[in-house]
Amino acid sequence: MLFRSVIITICFCYSSFAYAQSLTTEKLHKNHKDALSLYMYHNTLRMLNQNDDPDFDALIKDIEKMKLLLINKNAPSFNYKKLVSDYKAEAFEEVMTSRHQGKNFDVFFKEGKDKGMLVLVNDSASLYVLDIVGTIALDKITKLYNTIDDSSDIGKKIKAFTGSGNEAKGKDK
């Protein structure tokens, strides 16, 4: 009986972590195996705050976890309109669209039992998907994006994936 209780508890804990991200995001990652994928929990995000900025701590206070997925938009199977349609079919509602530093930001919310937030950041070559369990203030989305992009470790991975650091590498040779 004790063994059965332990197994049920483990399954419950595992399933609570597994369901949280959007099914569309998981499908997108599965279809783009070469995509850069990073998971960040609240404590991981706090480590990005190298300057101990209280505004950044306030910004991430309601984020439980986040998946960052970078997709090459030049892949033949990439279809942004279908992707947005799939998210809407999951009950995500578009709440905001904006531009920042040459990138389009589309923000979606999902209410109810599986509530969350989704930020699609589009530039000419890549799609950045921020699938968030929790929420952040709409006017702080670009600050979160910039902090992630400027982080030394994460920023290097993003720049290597997108090829935006290639010019500097070529000058060092």
pLDDT at 109: 94
Q: What is the pLDDT along the chain (173 residues), one digit of tens a residue?
A: 433 333 333 333 333 334 457 999 999 999 998 888 988 898 888 887 778 888 888 889 999 999 999 998 887 878 999 999 999 999 999 999 999 888 999 999 998 877 899 999 998 889 999 999 988 888 888 888 887 777 656 666 666 766 655 443 343 33
Domain count, the chain: 1
* 13 belongs to a structural domain: no
* 110 belongs to a structural domain: yes
103 SS3 class = strand
* 8 belongs to a structural domain: no
* 11 belongs to a structural domain: no
pLDDT at 74: 85
* 3 belongs to a structural domain: no
The model carries a pTM of 0.75
* 108 belongs to a structural domain: yes
* CA distances (Å), origin 169, targets 34, 159, 162, 172, 173: 22, 11, 14, 5, 7
Bridge partners (DSSP) of residue 39 are 67
Reference 131, options 147, 115, 150; nearest CA is 115
pLDDT at 173: 35
Which residue range is the domain that position 77 belongs to?
Answer: 20-164
* 5 belongs to a structural domain: no
* 2 belongs to a structural domain: no
pLDDT at 47: 84
